[in-house]
Amino acid sequence: MFSENKDGSKFFINGKQFDPNRVDVRSKLNTVEEWTVRNDSNEEHSFHVHVNKFQLMSINGRPHDGHGLQDTASVPAKGKIVVRTRFREYTGKTVLHCHILNHEDAGMMAVLEIVK
């Protein structure tokens, strides 16, 4: 879940600020996962994943009809998106984050580790 403090100076994923020494999400190579990304704030955030593209399945419960893979999607204020991703090549640590630079710099980033 994307969230922020009241004055918009600190940003969070799942209630935590970025820590490069912590693994926040662990996924297994050669699997498919579907994630719901919620936005608890009053502003839109952009969900971005390094290394692994995803298919946007729905926005606020409405099916998304796009057919291509992407690495960034907008999460509406007080809304949610569902993405589906396949882990098929890369193993190791990477990140997912809000692609708005000051949100990312103020903590809205998480470590994703893809394992065999």
The CA–CA distances, whole Å, from 108 to 4, 49, 58, 89, 104 equal 8, 12, 22, 26, 5
pLDDT at res. 103:
96
Going by pLDDT thresholds of 50, 70 and 90, the confidence category of residue 95 is very high
Mean pLDDT of all residues in the chain? 96
Q: CA–CA separation, 19 vs 39, rounded Å?
A: 20
pLDDT at res. 67:
78
Which sign does the torsion angle of CA 18, 23, 28, 30 carry?
Answer: positive
- Residues 104 and 69 sit within 8 Å (Cβ to Cβ): no
pLDDT at res. 66:
83
Over residues 34-90, the pLDDT tens digits come to 999 999 999 999 999 999 999 999 999 999 988 799 999 999 999 999 999 999 999
pLDDT at res. 115:
98
